Every structure is written in structure tokens, then in C-alpha cells.
């Protein structure tokens, strides 16, 4: 049985996240302190006490989700002698979760990851003027149909000019998120309904992530990543924009820059990990979004989530003694 660790993205944050881990495990508590120190902010207080609207701001949510995931990883290491390199065949993360995956695999230290994610959140927020971009979920649409809808919605009927509207996340199971200029996304919603898509709805987000409008944020991340200290991960990461594994730091830097404007090819990432022999997926951190999607994307595999002390202890007890598969 080959094991893959997957790390959640934005939307999984909630007030109270990680507090029980900090109470139960000194190693987890240390992670939250490291992030607080790196950011010069009591992010842990915001995570544990709220308010929710402040936690949801992308510049806070991104490092918060990484902190929760790494608190789980460090607690696994300290409580169960768990080593990622010895037990896990592949890692992957959804959007910002890719930074969590890389940090868990030793590519970044926690302080570096926290600072990169704070910058990433701020840069993504600043990339477009407020209210000019939007994102929408298409439920009951596969990626080909979503791309067809985006192509049809791109032209402004009043000006004849092309506007940005692109597939941002291919989550699998008939769930595609699109992103772009607000008017173009609204046109896409109407076209989706005409084409029989089960549900098409605007999402409550503050900016149009993972589309060409994020180019200024990609430039900011290219500069920051060029200066960031990075090691080769002890476990290969399956990258969002290629759905292929990567271990070379220079390649990973490039992939992280491309990810800001590119599609999160999550359905293909999971399929690739399954094809490489992974049949057990563990979602590490807040929420159960990815483990829920796993039932659709890799129905033959088993999936579980570790986000609190009870789940962590149950996972450690369940570990088989066999070696991971070599990929």
C-alpha cells in the first residue's frame, strides 16, 4: 500500500482550527509560535478566536492553513516517530496547499513558507481592483465543457473585446471553478445554465484567483521565490499545473510561479498519484474537502483526514509496518 499526503487549500479555514492540536501536542504548539514569530502577528489567536471574516482574508487564510497542516505533520513526527520520507510516496496540495506539501517534505522551513504565503495572499488581493474580478463554481460540468463555456463567454457583446474567463480549478467529480473578469464570469454562468449545467453560482471570494488577471501576483512570487531558501523535497510533489511529480528546486520554483495564473489540475493530480501506485490518501490539516473529492477522483483508493488529535492518534495506530512503494 503506497501512501500519499494531500494538503487543503483556501475555503477549509474555520475559527478554532488547530487549537486542540496546540493543546495536545507541544510540537504542534511550536509550529503556531513559529508562524506567529515569522509574521510578527498573533495569527494563532486569530485562528482560534476569530473573527471569521478576518481569518478568511486571503493574506491570513493562506498561512493559517499551512500552519494547521504543519502542526499535524510535526505532531505525527513527535508522537509516533513518523517520517515523511520513510512512509509517504508522494505529496500534493491544492493551490496554497502546494506550499504546505513542500514544507512538510522539507523544501521550505516553516518561517519561509509563512512569509511566502503572506506575500502570496497580499499580492493576489492587490492584483485586481476590488469588485472587478469574480469566481464561479460549475457543478455537473467536466473540464472540456467548462473550457467551452469560458470560450463562449470571453467576448463582451457590447464592445466585441475579449475578457479574461478561464478554468481555475478542475476539482473532479464534475466540479470546475472558473475565474476572471466579473462580467465575463457572469456571462459564463448564464451560458452554463443554457448548456444544462446542474448548478452555476458565484463564489464569495475577494479576487479572481488562478487566471491571467493574477499576472502581477505571479511576478511578485517569482521575485520572492528567487530569493527564498529552498531544498529538494524528501518526497516528490505532484504539481498543480502539470499533474506530474517534481523534485528539483529550480523546477518547483517555476511551477509555483505558473500556479498563480494557471489551472489547479487537481483531478489529474489525483489520477497521476493513483497511477503511480498510491492507493491510500491522507488529507493533512483543516477540513475534509480533498478526502471528500477523493471518493470521486480515485474510487478504488481509501481516503481519510487528519486534522485533530483523535484523528492523528487513530492514524498512528493504523499504520502498517510495511514499507512504502518506491516510485
pLDDT digits (tens, 9 = 90+) for 176-203: 999 999 999 999 999 999 999 999 999 9
Catalytic pick from 69, 95, 179, 291? 95
For the chain, the structural domain boundaries read 2-126+213-318, 133-205
**CATH number listed for the domain at residues 133-205:** 3.30.70.250
Helix, strand, coil percent values for the chain (each to nearest 5) = 50, 15, 35
Phi, psi angle pair for 278, to nearest 5°: -80, 125
Contact (CB, 8 A) for 71 and 19? no
Q: CA geometry: angle at 178 spanning 12 and 6, to 5°?
A: 35
Domain 2-126+213-318 in CATH 3.40.366.10 = yes
Residue 323 has pLDDT above 90, yes or no: no
Rounded to whole angstroms, the Cα distance separating 65 from 265 reads 20
pLDDT in tens, 120-161: 999 999 999 999 999 999 999 999 999 999 999 999 999 999
Question: What pairs with residue 166 in β-bridges?
Answer: 179
Cell 511566502 belongs to 116
Burial 140-160 (b: 16+ CB within 10 A, else e): ebebebbbebbeebbeeeeee
Q: Please identify which of the residues 44, 68, 94, 210 carries the catalytic annotation.
A: 210
pLDDT tens for each residue of 256-307: 999 999 999 999 999 999 999 999 999 999 999 999 999 889 999 999 999 9
Q: Report the SS3 class of residue 57.
A: coil
For 259-286, give the secondary structure using H, E and C. HHHCCECHHHHHHHHHHCCEEEEEEECC
pTM over 0.85: yes
Q: What is the pLDDT of residue 46?
A: 98
Model confidence at 320, pLDDT cuts 50, 70, 90, reads low
Kindly give, in sequence order, each residue whose CB lies less than 8 Å from that of residue 43, ignoring residues fewer than 6 positions away. Answer: 32, 35, 36, 60, 63, 64, 67
In the annotation, is 95 catalytic?
Answer: yes
| Interaxial angle between packed helices 110-126 and 58-80, expressed in degrees from 0 to 180 and rounded to the nearest 10 | 160
- Based on the residue annotation, tell me whether 94 is a catalytic residue of this protein: no
Cell reading at 154: 470571453
Share of the chain above pLDDT 70, in %: 98
Confidence category of residue 206, pLDDT binned at 50, 70, 90: confident
- The chain-wide mean pLDDT, for the chain, equals 96
pLDDT at residue 129 in the model: 94
Amino acid at each position: 500500500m503506497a501512501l500519499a499526503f494531500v494538503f487543503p487549500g483556501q475555503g477549509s479555514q474555520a475559527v478554532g482550527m488547530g487549537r486542540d492540536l496546540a493543546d495536545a501536542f507541544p510540537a504542534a504548539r511550536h509550529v503556531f509560535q513559529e508562524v506567529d514569530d515569522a509574521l510578527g502577528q498573533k495569527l494563532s489567536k486569530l485562528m482560534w478566536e476569530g473573527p471569521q471574516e478576518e481569518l478568511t482574508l486571503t493574506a491570513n487564510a493562506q498561512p493559517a492553513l499551512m500552519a494547521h497542516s504543519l502542526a499535524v505533520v510535526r505532531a505525527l513526527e513527535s508522537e509516533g516517530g513518523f517520517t515523511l520520507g520513510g512512509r509517504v510516496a508522494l505529496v500534493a496540495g491544492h493551490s496554497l496547499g502546494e506550499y504546505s506539501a513542500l514544507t512538510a517534505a522539507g523544501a521550505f522551513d516553516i518561517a519561509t513558507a509563512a512569509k511566502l504565503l503572506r506575500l502570496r495572499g497580499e499580492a493576489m488581493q492587490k492584483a485586481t481592483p476590488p469588485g472587478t474580478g469574480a469566481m464561479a463554481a460549475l457543478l455537473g460540468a467536466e473540464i472540456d465543457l467548462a473550457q467551452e463555456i469560458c470560450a463562449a463567454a470571453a467576448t463582451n457583446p457590447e464592445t466585441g473585446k475579449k475578457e479574461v474567463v478561464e478554468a481555475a480549478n478542475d476539482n473532479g467529480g464534475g466540479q470546475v471553478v472558473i475565474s476572471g473578469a466579473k462580467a465575463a464570469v457572469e456571462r459564463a454562468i448564464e451560458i452554463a445554465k443554457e448548456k444544462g449545467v446542474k448548478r452555476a453560482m458565484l463564489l464569495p471570494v475577494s479576487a479572481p484567483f488562478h487566471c491571467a488577471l493574477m499576472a502581477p501576483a505571479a511576478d511578485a512570487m517569482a521575485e520572492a521565490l528567487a530569493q527564498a531558501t529552498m531544498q529538494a523535497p524528501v518526497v516528490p510533489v505532484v504539481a498543480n499545473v502539470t499533474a506530474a511529480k517534481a523534485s528539483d528546486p529550480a523546477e518547483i520554483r517555476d511551477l509555483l510561479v505558473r500556479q498563480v495564473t494557471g489551472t489547479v489540475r487537481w483531478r489529474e493530480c489525483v489520477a497521476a498519484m493513483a497511477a503511480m501506485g498510491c492507493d491510500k490518501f491522507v488529507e493533512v490539516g483543516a477540513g475534509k474537502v480533498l478526502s471528500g473529492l477523493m471518493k470521486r477522483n480515485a474510487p478504488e483508493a481509501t481516503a481519510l483526514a487528519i486534522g485533530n488529535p483523535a484523528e492523528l492518534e487513530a492514524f498512528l495506530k493504523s499504520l502498517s509496518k510495511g514499507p512504502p512503494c518506491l516510485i
